[in-house]
């Protein structure tokens, strides 16, 4: 209807359709405080922006890192970055999507014109809010207000709200038949882990892998290692309750560091006769990052940091770990160029090339978001 009206009316289209939306959002007013379900105002999208109705959103450890201060962002803020929804309206100049399209928000955008987007080796668009702690749209303002106060955005996505506004470079149009409550995981957790194995590490058939941390992202790393035909995939976690799911998704061995009296890197080195070919740290702790590096084969092993490193912490390690030939890499969003890759990953899911259901432990109504985070923090 809006499209038809736009064709018929000579005066500005925004006067007809693009109004402020009042809806519910989960606002974090200050650090170490629970989410507060609030009535917020969501402004219309400006030029090259898109307003999206969020249908499903996942809970990620990175969201919790903001609450605890491990990932520094300004407050008050609307968190959330792993989601799927439907375009409600678009600002001037938007051509990639239209109202009614199913989309996945992209916390790593793809502008297509910056040096990183143009480089085949890079996926971290220079327009990303990751690491800048900005919390604002490109024009330096926010699209959210609550109780007369401006509310910050998170990673350019902010999906813990019924409606959000994103730059058009931060949305990917997907298959209209895709189940949004499943493919929302492709917005972060699944893609991050799966791509860390396939895109960043480039795991090879017959290789050995160790995965530290068996949350949703760690399990997705296991799925990526299996898809790459690794011969041995060793899952490492201090919560043995996670081992059954890890084996279901492809782990060949599961070990709990608490069961040993020696450092876990020594255990893994002995298990594999000299260290694994590839290791992945999917927790976000400096001690496990160095353990993952040390458990790699000393000359050609590759270790990938997937978990978000804690703010204001440094790593101290023996430089001989790298001098002997190991490689240490980081991986954001699995190394995928987001706008290009996300629709293809959704298509692969629709073709049953991988599963997502095992990664979903609970489905909760939006108003129970604090209960969801309690489940995350207790390893459930």
Q: Which of 117, 184, 188, 209 is catalytic?
A: 188
Q: Which of 81, 152, 153, 265 is catalytic?
A: 81
User: Does 162 lie in the same domain as 284?
Assistant: no
User: Does 340 lie in the same domain as 322?
Assistant: no
Q: Is residue 215 part of a domain?
A: yes
Q: Is residue 375 part of a domain?
A: no
How far is residue 353's CA from residue 357's CA, in Å, rounded to a whole number?
13
Q: Taking a C-beta distance cutoff of 8 angstroms, is the pair 197, 280 a contact? A: yes
Candidate from 67-76, 171-180, 188-197 with smallest mean pLDDT: 67-76
User: Does 167 lie in the same domain as 129?
Assistant: yes
Q: Which of 62, 89, 303, 338 is catalytic?
A: 62
| Domain of 61, in residue numbers | 21-189+336-370
User: Does 158 lie in the same domain as 98?
Assistant: yes
Average pLDDT over residues 42-50: 97
User: Does 355 lie in the same domain as 319?
Assistant: no
Q: Is residue 270 part of a domain?
A: yes
Which pair of structure tokens corresponds to residue 248?
């279901």
Q: Is residue 359 part of a domain?
A: yes
The domain that holds 307 is classified in CATH as: 3.40.50.720
Say whether pLDDT at 280 is over 80: yes
Is residue 65 part of the annotated active site? The answer reads yes
User: Does 128 lie in the same domain as 256?
Assistant: no
User: Does 246 lie in the same domain as 142?
Assistant: no
Structural Rg of the chain based on CA atoms: 21
- The reported pLDDT for the residue numbered 17 is 55
Is residue 98 packed enough to be buried (19+ CB in 10 Å), middle (13-18) or exposed (0-12)?
Answer: middle
Tell me what the pLDDT averaged over the chain comes to: 93
Say whether pLDDT at 73 is over 50: yes
User: Does 171 lie in the same domain as 88?
Assistant: yes
Q: Which is nearest to 81 in space by CA: 208, 170, 200, 150? A: 170
User: Does 217 lie in the same domain as 289?
Assistant: yes
Return all residues near 234 (Cβ < 8 A) that are at least 6 apart. Answer: 208, 209, 210, 211, 251, 252, 253, 254, 255, 268, 271, 272, 276
The domain that holds 130 is classified in CATH as: 3.90.180.10
- The reported pLDDT for the residue numbered 131 is 64
- The reported pLDDT for the residue numbered 170 is 96
Q: Which of 60, 254, 295, 296 is catalytic?
A: 60
Is residue 161 packed enough to be buried (19+ CB in 10 Å), middle (13-18) or exposed (0-12)?
Answer: buried
Q: Taking a C-beta distance cutoff of 8 angstroms, is the pair 320, 296 a contact? A: no
Q: Is residue 310 part of a domain?
A: yes
- The reported pLDDT for the residue numbered 198 is 98
Q: Is residue 10 part of a domain?
A: no
Distances (CA, A) of 246 to 29, 241, 249, 284, 361: 36, 10, 5, 19, 13
pLDDT digits (tens, 9 = 90+) for 123-171: 999 888 776 668 999 889 999 999 999 999 999 999 999 999 999 999 9
Q: Is residue 13 part of a domain?
A: no
- The reported pLDDT for the residue numbered 133 is 63
- The reported pLDDT for the residue numbered 70 is 84
pTM for the full model? 0.91
Structural domain total, the chain: 2
Is residue 62 part of the annotated active site? The answer reads yes
Q: Is residue 343 part of a domain?
A: yes
- The reported pLDDT for the residue numbered 132 is 65
User: Does 100 lie in the same domain as 242?
Assistant: no
User: Does 175 lie in the same domain as 92?
Assistant: yes
pLDDT digits (tens, 9 = 90+) for 324-350: 999 999 999 999 999 999 999 999 999
User: Does 163 lie in the same domain as 306?
Assistant: no
Q: Which residue has the higher pLDDT, 53 or 5?
A: 53
């Amino acid at each position: 209807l809006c499209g038809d009206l736009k064709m018929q009316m000579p005066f500005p289209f925004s006067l007809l359709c693009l109004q402020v939306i009042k809806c519910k959002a989960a606002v974090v007013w200050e650090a170490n405080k629970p989410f507060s379900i609030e009535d917020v105002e969501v402004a219309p999208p400006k030029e090259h922006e898109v307003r999206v109705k969020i249908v499903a959103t996942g809970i990620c450890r990175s969201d919790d890192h903001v609450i605890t201060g491990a990932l520094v962002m300004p407050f008050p803020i609307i968190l959330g970055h792993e989601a799927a929804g439907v375009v409600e309206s678009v600002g001037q100049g938007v051509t990639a999507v239209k109202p009614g399209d199913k989309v996945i928000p992209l916390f790593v955008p793809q502008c297509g014109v910056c040096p990183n987007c143009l480089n085949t080796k890079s996926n971290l668009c220079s327009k990303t809010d990751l690491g800048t702690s900005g919390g604002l749209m490109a024009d330096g303002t926010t699209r959210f207000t609550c109780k007369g106060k401006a509310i910050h955005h998170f990673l350019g996505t902010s999906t813990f709200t019924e409606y959000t506004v994103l730059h058009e470079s931060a949305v990917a149009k997907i298959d209209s038949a895709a189940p949004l409550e499943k493919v929302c995981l492709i917005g972060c957790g699944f893609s991050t882990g799966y791509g860390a194995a396939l895109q960043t590490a480039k795991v090879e058939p017959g290789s050995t892998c160790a995965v530290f941390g068996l949350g949703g992202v760690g399990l997705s790393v296991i799925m990526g290692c299996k898809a790459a035909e690794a011969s041995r995939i060793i899952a490492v976690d201090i919560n043995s309750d996670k081992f059954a799911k890890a084996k279901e998704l492809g782990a060949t061995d599961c070990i709990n560091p608490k069961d040993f009296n020696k450092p876990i890197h020594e255990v893994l080195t002995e298990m594999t006769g000299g260290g694994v070919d590839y290791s992945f740290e999917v927790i976000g702790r400096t001690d496990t990052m160095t353990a993952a590096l040390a458990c790699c084969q000393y000359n050609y092993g590759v270790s990938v940091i997937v978990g978000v490193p804690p703010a204001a912490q440094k790593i101290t390690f023996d430089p001989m770990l790298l001098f002997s030939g190991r490689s240490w890499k980081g991986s954001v969003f699995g190394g995928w160029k987001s706008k290009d890759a996300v629709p293809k990953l959704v298509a692969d899911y629709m073709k049953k090339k991988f599963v997502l259901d095992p990664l979903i432990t609970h489905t909760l109504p939006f108003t129970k978001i604090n209960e969801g985070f309690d489940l995350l923090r207790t390893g459930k």
